[in-house]
Homo-oligomer: A and B are copies of this chain.
Amino acid sequence: MKRKIRMGMVGGGRGAFIGAVHRMAAAIDGEIELVCGAFSSNPKKSKLSGADLYLPKDRVYGSYEEMIKKEAELPLGERMDFISIVTPNHMHFGPAKMALENGFHVVCDKPLTFNMKEAKALQRLVEKTGLIFALTHNYTGYPMVKQAKSMIAKNKIGKIRKVVVEYPQGWLSTFVEGTDSKQAAWRTDPKRSGIAGAMGDIGTHAENLAEYVTGLKIKKMCADLSILVDGRKLDDDGNVLLEFDNGAKGILSASQIAAGEENNLRIRIYGEKAGLDWRQMEPNTLIVRWLDKSTEIMRTGVGNLSAEAQAHTRLPGGHPEGYLEAFANIYRNFAKCVQARLENKKPNKVYTDFPTVADGVRGMQFIQKVVASSKSKSKWTKM
């Protein structure tokens, strides 16, 4: 019999941002229930967080190791089916590895790991275990991103010539890591974040979005990463020239010192016949600019959109779907795949559309190459 899929969470205790996002995203569609968690490396804090979430005390753990061990001892259907990892980057690999080794599926926040070595090890483990692994590159979950992808796949805009993907934020315009901001602290700390700052945190979203939507691969790049706030240890701004494997040119830009910008991820793709334009802050709109006719405004839930767009839409047109709904699309699809696995069925193809460990490895490679390119005196670095 079908049932809700059972989630255990690693990280995301009081004061965390992304943990709450994952919980809301997982809850929206009624396919997943939170059954346990190790919400903090501080056991007391973990307990308090678990109580906030109405979890029974015996399912709130002091560490992920404890959680995975204890849960693995519970019977199937009572124990968690998967873990959701919402810790800083340097704390992804440990719980992911142990979960996989103990037979649990995994949802992991991005970027995949702290470094490339961990990323590849994780990829091998996923392949070996055959377990289901989702990476929350949430921006690809928006219906109009699916619409753009399917239009390109169907050659509606012709051969792609140019891609401009930009991700400006302004919240690191001052030396925030000198205040008590947890979010800023770990993101600007090479020991927790890895070799890249803005490029790892949001540049990878831009890279993932560009490759997902276009179906192209970045072939080479020329990067210029900067630290523009005094005292900072990792890049807070980066601009990258791109060449894609079909010969298309592009620009990728990510900044956390773009003063006054909120979270303004945007992608423009120019083909031979039309240009597409999508902006995360107005996500239910996809602009299609045709060569010799009026611009078309496609809207979530309106008219004859692609099957993929429709399958990731919950509401009629004009009822705005937002960040959480896009995020929820990853969880919904993941849950449906786990459910199919429980029933020994093949999942509906539409549900297999979520970022995987391979996307995570690709992102880690992007980080590595973009940092190398920035240090290089040569113009181009191969991806």
A residues in contact (CB < 8 Å) with B: 2-4, 17, 20-21, 23-24, 27-30, 34, 51, 53-54, 157-158, 161-162, 164, 166, 168-171, 173-174, 222, 224, 226, 228, 237, 239, 241, 243, 249-251, 253, 255, 257-264, 268, 270-275, 280-283, 288-299, 301-304, 314-325, 376-380
A259 lies within 8 A of B239 (CB): no
Oligomer copy total: 4
Partner of A272, one of B173, B282, B298, B325: B173
Residue of B nearest to A294 (CB): B296
B249 lies within 8 A of A237 (CB): yes
| Min CB–CB distance A70 → chain B (angstroms) | 22
Partner of A295, one of B158, B292, B296, B325: B296
B249 lies within 8 A of A251 (CB): no
Check A324/B28 contact, CB under 8 A, given A294-B303, A303-B294: yes
Selected A-B contacts with CB under 8 Å, 17 pairs: A162-B257, A173-B270, A174-B272, A222-B224, A239-B241, A257-B270, A259-B270, A259-B275, A262-B302, A282-B282, A283-B320, A288-B294, A293-B304, A315-B323, A315-B324, A320-B323, A377-B379
| Min CB–CB distance A317 → chain B (angstroms) | 4
| Min CB–CB distance A12 → chain B (angstroms) | 12
Cα separation A241 to B255 with both chains bound (whole Å):
14
B21 lies within 8 A of A30 (CB): no
Partner of A228, one of B161, B260, B262, B376: B161
| Min CB–CB distance A132 → chain B (angstroms) | 20
Residue of B nearest to A374 (CB): B379
Check A222/B237 contact, CB under 8 A, given A54-B3, A257-B161, A322-B322: no
Check A161/B322 contact, CB under 8 A, given A27-B30, A378-B379: no
A226 lies within 8 A of B241 (CB): no
Known: A161-B257, A257-B270, A294-B297. 5 other contacts (CB 8 A): A222-B224, A224-B249, A239-B241, A259-B270, A260-B275
| Min CB–CB distance A291 → chain B (angstroms) | 5
A23 lies within 8 A of B27 (CB): no
Cα separation A28 to B324 with both chains bound (whole Å):
9
**Residue of A34, A164, A317, A324 ringed by the most chain B CB atoms within 10 A:** A324
B23 lies within 8 A of A260 (CB): no
Cα separation A292 to B164 with both chains bound (whole Å):
28
| Min CB–CB distance A127 → chain B (angstroms) | 31
Set of chain B residues within 8 Å of A250, measured between Cβ atoms = 239
Partner of A17, one of B162, B257, B316: B316
B27 lies within 8 A of A54 (CB): no
A273 lies within 8 A of B302 (CB): no
B241 lies within 8 A of A224 (CB): yes
A261 lies within 8 A of B237 (CB): no
A314 lies within 8 A of B270 (CB): no
Check A289/B170 contact, CB under 8 A, given A224-B222, A378-B378: yes
| Min CB–CB distance A354 → chain B (angstroms) | 19
B324 lies within 8 A of A259 (CB): no
A298 lies within 8 A of B294 (CB): yes
Cα separation A280 to B321 with both chains bound (whole Å):
12
Residue of B nearest to A51 (CB): B2
Partner of A288, one of B28, B237, B260, B274: B260
Partner of A29, one of B24, B158, B258, B319: B24
Set of chain B residues within 8 Å of A168, measured between Cβ atoms = 270
B17 lies within 8 A of A291 (CB): no
Set of chain B residues within 8 Å of A320, measured between Cβ atoms = 280-283, 320, 322-323
Partner of A271, one of B171, B259, B324: B259
